[in-house]
Amino acid sequence: MEQSPALTELWETALPVAENFEPMRWVDRPEPVRRYLEHAIAPGTPLATAVRLKMHGQIKLKNWCRFNAEQVIRWDRGMIWRAVVKMYGLPISGFDRLLDGTGAMQWKAIGIIPIMSATGPDIDRSAAGRLAAEFIWLPSAFCREEVRWSAAASDRIRAEFHVGDQAVQLEFGLDISGRVRYNRLQRWGNPEGGAHHYAEFGALVEEEGRFGGYTIPTRLRVGWHLGSPRFETEGEFFRCVIDQAEYR
C-alpha cells in the first residue's frame, strides 16, 4: 500500500505522552472498570495519544470483499482509515476519516474512477460514533479525566465521554480477566438505507493480542444491530484482524 501523506502527518504530529499508567490512580473506580483497564494497559505504560494500526479482513459491499488497511487514531483529533479493497478483481482505494469534527469518505476504482464521495453533518455524526467504538484500540483514551465510568454488573461497564460535540455512551462486555468480549453504542447511521437515525452498533471480539504495553482486540466482527438476530442476518459488514499496532 502506498504511503499516505495525511495519515503520516496525523501520526507524526501526535501529542507527546504526559504520564504513565498507574493502577493505584483507579482504586476509586468500580472493580470491573479497574479490571478492564489493568488488563488493557500494563503498569508503567506511557499513556499514548495515538495508535497506528495495520490490518486486513473483509468488508461487505453487497458481497464480502477482501481489504488491507492502515489507520491512525488520535484521541485529540480523530482518525484516518486508508484501505485497498478488492472488488470483482479490481482494486478500490480510498479513505474514511474524521478530523477535528469533520468527516469524509472518498473511494476510487483503480485509483482514478470515482466510486463514492461523501461529506456533511450525517457523515460527521456517524464518524464520531465509529471513532468512539474504535478507541478500544487506544485504551489510553479511556484514562482521560473527562471519561465517566460506571458498572452495570461485574461483566458490563460503561464509559461516557464526548467526541467533539457528540455525547457517547460506550458499553463493554467483559470476561472474568477483564478481556473485552464486545463493545456497543448508539451510532448515527442509515443501516436500512433510508434516513439517518441512531441504531445499535458494535463489535464482537474473537481474539486479542499485546503490542508494547497494550492488550487490544485483534480479531473482530463489526456491524449494526449488535445483540439482536439482525446482526447475523443483515447488520454485520466488517471483519478485521489487527496485524500491527504502534503507540506514541
**What pLDDT, in 10s, does the model give residues 210-220?**
999 999 999 99
Q: Is residue 4 part of a domain?
A: no
Question: Which tens digit of pLDDT belongs to each residue from 174-183?
Answer: 999 999 999 9
Predicted pLDDT at 142:
98
- How many structural domains comprise the chain? 1
Question: Residue 44 and residue 191: Cα distance in Å, rounded?
Answer: 41
Q: Is residue 3 part of a domain?
A: no
Q: Which long-range contacts (CB under 8 A, 24 or more apart) does 62-67 make?
A: 64/239, 65/92
Predicted pLDDT at 1:
67
Question: Which tens digit of pLDDT belongs to each residue from 9-45?
Answer: 999 999 999 999 999 999 999 999 999 999 999 999 9
Question: Residue 154 and residue 152: Cα distance in Å, rounded?
Answer: 7
Q: Is residue 163 part of a domain?
A: yes
Q: Is residue 159 part of a domain?
A: yes
Q: Is residue 7 part of a domain?
A: no
Residues forming beta bridges with residue 217, ordered by sequence position? 208
pLDDT per 10-residue tile (average), the chain, 248 residues: 84 95 96 98 98 98 95 98 93 97 95 91 98 98 97 98 96 98 98 95 98 97 96 97 98
Q: Is residue 96 part of a domain?
A: yes
Predicted pLDDT at 110:
83
Q: The CATH number of the domain where 143 resides is what?
A: 2.50.20
Please give the residue range of the domain that contains residue 233. Answer: 19-247
